[in-house]
Amino acid sequence: MERLLLSGNEAIALGACHAGLKLAAAYPGTPSTEILEAIAKFPGIYAEWSSNEAVAVEVALGACYTGVRAMACMKHVGLNVAADAFMAASTTGVRGGLVIVAADDPGIHSSQNEQDSRNYARLGKVPCLEPSDSQEAYDFARSAFQLSEEFDTPVLLRPTTRVCHSKSVVMPSPKLELERTPQFSHEPGKLVMLPGAARERWRKVLERMEKLTIYAEKSPLNRAVEGSAELGIVASGIGFQYAREVFPNASFLKLGLTHPLPDKLIRDFAGRVKKVLVIEEVEDFIEQYLRSQGITALGKEIFPRTGEFSPDIIRDSAVKAGIIDNTPAKSWPAAGLARRPPLLCPGCPHSGVFFTLSSLGHRSTLPGKKPRPPKLTICGDIGCYTLGAYQPLGVIDTCGCMGAGISQAAGMAKAGAAEKPLAVIGDSTFMHSGINSLLNAVYNQAKICVLILDNGTTAMTGHQGHPGSGLAATRQPAARVIIEELVRGAGVRNASVVDAFDLKAVRAELRRAMASSELEVIIVRGDCPTLTRKRSRPRIINTEKCDNCGACLLIGCSAIKKSESDGIIIDSGACVGGYCALCQQVCPKEAISESIGEAV
């Protein structure tokens, strides 16, 4: 077959497709998002964005119960959400193959924490596969389905950010043509986990682990690469590729199946070399196992316990430990790359409500003005609107995990907070788990104000659909859940909708809701500018009227800049014009207006 240049995510999608995948479900999250986006393009495979990761696993598990092959995909923190469903899948086992992809993010490039999903494999007693490049991502996705069905278990596939997003050559294998008719057969002892049945199934889970441990010793997923007997390196995932670059002459035990680990294979390898190093990102998962078996190995006392590895990091650590003495020149990023903090996009509908919250809450002041003590307690959530925490907006006080903002605000109110807390959550996150928190707030009569920032998409991960977007994973129209109807159906008596780009309306509604002694929900609605691409004539600044007060800078719009030579200017290439015009609304001198040129 034709050689392909694929990212790890694209390779996982293709490998699953060629393994006979019938259904895939996911919730978008970096670095895993592109897996389902690629699968959605394949004919004959049902693909959906589920409302959260637990639902995705449950949908995939239900499909596999009918005998077809199914997959659920998420980022590492999503596996926390799906943990209950994951453990249930481990206990019942499968019928068709079931693969759960949890993409870890060493270095916390786009996450709220750094965690090692291999621990879930150990907890759930399921096999874990770790690809180190796109070819392995493709091969391991195929092998995972075979393992799943052979051992009656879900399989955890754990790529990391660098494998997910980097590209390398893939040689595909012939596609499997599985002739399977989805059919459910009743078997309560396997699928209905009442205590008596669950106890019996758990015995089978333990027996399964014994069989998998034997399999691991001979599995082609683990392999030794013979080199110098002076140094032996045990590595997995992308750490193997980096280690090969730094230690070209060493012997390697490359582990693709990292749970369960092959005891005899590791012992034989360690016995053939004088010194053993374990190189693995994040936790000392493999190293701890070696030490528990009485095998002397160096690992985390040399290499970092946190952050993403690179050849430079491994080399520097090895030099510092006296293992190697060469220090070749480090690789540096290409010159001229822009260095800037993450910002809300020009024309973002969140800018106006954050500006209003900032001004009401005394979070920012005009240049030269004395700062006042901050007012308002604002609980944030996970999404691009978390960027409202940065200056000049500075309006997010808490941010923990998906859907937590509403519950945190309710907790503050119940604890007796003097001021009515606010919660800010995006539409996709509200559908993910925010609705659960809102139901709790209704039930327990929490006197809080909830702002649902509805831009009609899952913006931060690349505009995926969700139940409130009316867009399926295939980009085709789908049924749409109307947020205000959902909120009122949940029991909220005071729910309103305001235009995100009408600052007067946003301010008036916020003042009213904050003065209310009831639970209030305000849906602030405005299209995501990078999705709709709506633009009109950009705004310009009349330098004769402008007194450089800096009010327009407080919106935090990246199209507005202050120049030492020219004062405040608007980047006409970035400004979306009349579809936003927030700067025009806040300028006290009415110095901002529509440009005269042709529409962009």
**pLDDT tens figures, 518-529:** 999 999 999 999
Match 């012997």 to its residue by tokens: 251
Q: What is the pLDDT of residue 335?
A: 72
Q: What is the pLDDT of residue 214?
A: 97
Name residue 249's amino acid.
N
By residue count, the chain amounts to 600
In this predicted structure, the answer to whether residue 565 has a pLDDT above a threshold of 90 is no
Both tokens of residue 15? 């490998």
Q: What is the pLDDT of residue 405?
A: 96
Q: What is the pLDDT of residue 433?
A: 96
Task: Tell whether the torsion through CA atoms of 546, 552, 554 and 558 is positive or negative.
Answer: negative
Phi-psi region of 477 (alpha: psi -120 to 50; beta: other; left: phi over 0): beta
Indicate the annotated binding residues for [4Fe-4S] cluster.
Answer: 546, 549, 552, 557, 575, 580, 583, 587
Match 């600044």 to its residue by tokens: 541
At CB < 8 A and 24+ separation, what contacts does 559-567 make? 559/346, 567/541, 567/543
For residues 36-57, average pLDDT: 96
Torsion of Cα atoms, 41 then 42 then 45 then 49, to 10°:
-20
pLDDT tens-digit map of 162-179: 999 999 999 999 999 998
In this predicted structure, the answer to whether residue 36 has a pLDDT above a threshold of 70 is yes
d(C-alpha 15, C-alpha 553), whole Å: 49
d(C-alpha 17, C-alpha 67), whole Å: 16
d(C-alpha 422, C-alpha 504), whole Å: 19
Q: What is the pLDDT of residue 598?
A: 46
In this predicted structure, the answer to whether residue 32 has a pLDDT above a threshold of 90 is yes
pLDDT tens-digit map of 295-306: 999 999 999 999
Percent of the chain with pLDDT over 70: 97
Q: What is the pLDDT of residue 531?
A: 85
d(C-alpha 408, C-alpha 403), whole Å: 9
In this predicted structure, the answer to whether residue 562 has a pLDDT above a threshold of 90 is no
pLDDT tens-digit map of 465-474: 999 999 999 9
For residues 186-204, average pLDDT: 94
In this predicted structure, the answer to whether residue 600 has a pLDDT above a threshold of 50 is no
Whole-number average pLDDT of the chain: 94
3-class SS of residue 526: coil
3-class SS of residue 191: helix
Name residue 261's amino acid.
L
Highest mean pLDDT, choosing among 254-263, 322-331, 530-539: 254-263
Residue 511: other Cβ atoms inside 10 A: 12
Q: What is the pLDDT of residue 14?
A: 98
For residues 479-491, average pLDDT: 97
Confidence of residue 150 (pLDDT cuts 50, 70, 90): very high
In this predicted structure, the answer to whether residue 556 has a pLDDT above a threshold of 80 is yes
Q: What is the pLDDT of residue 534?
A: 76
Q: Report which of residues 110 and 261 the model is more confident about.
A: 261
What are the start-end ranges of the E strands in 191-323?
222-225, 228-236, 250-255, 257-259, 275-279
Least trusted range by pLDDT, from 445-449, 490-494, 545-549: 545-549
pLDDT tens-digit map of 267-286: 999 999 999 999 999 999 99
Q: What is the pLDDT of residue 179?
A: 87
Q: What is the pLDDT of residue 330?
A: 66
Q: Which residues pair with 72 in a beta bridge?
A: 25, 100
Q: What is the pLDDT of residue 582?
A: 94
For residues 138-142, average pLDDT: 98
For residues 57-70, average pLDDT: 97
∠ CA 527-29-191, rounded to 5°: 120
Do residues 399 and 112 touch, judged by C-beta distance below 8 A?
A: yes
For residues 498-506, average pLDDT: 97
d(C-alpha 91, C-alpha 206), whole Å: 10
Residue of 61, 68, 128, 115 lying closest to 91 (CA atoms): 61
Q: What is the pLDDT of residue 135?
A: 98
For residues 459-466, average pLDDT: 92
d(C-alpha 124, C-alpha 85), whole Å: 11
Indicate the annotated binding residues.
Answer: 546, 549, 552, 557, 575, 580, 583, 587
In this predicted structure, the answer to whether residue 1 has a pLDDT above a threshold of 80 is no
pLDDT tens-digit map of 427-455: 999 999 999 999 999 999 999 999 999 99
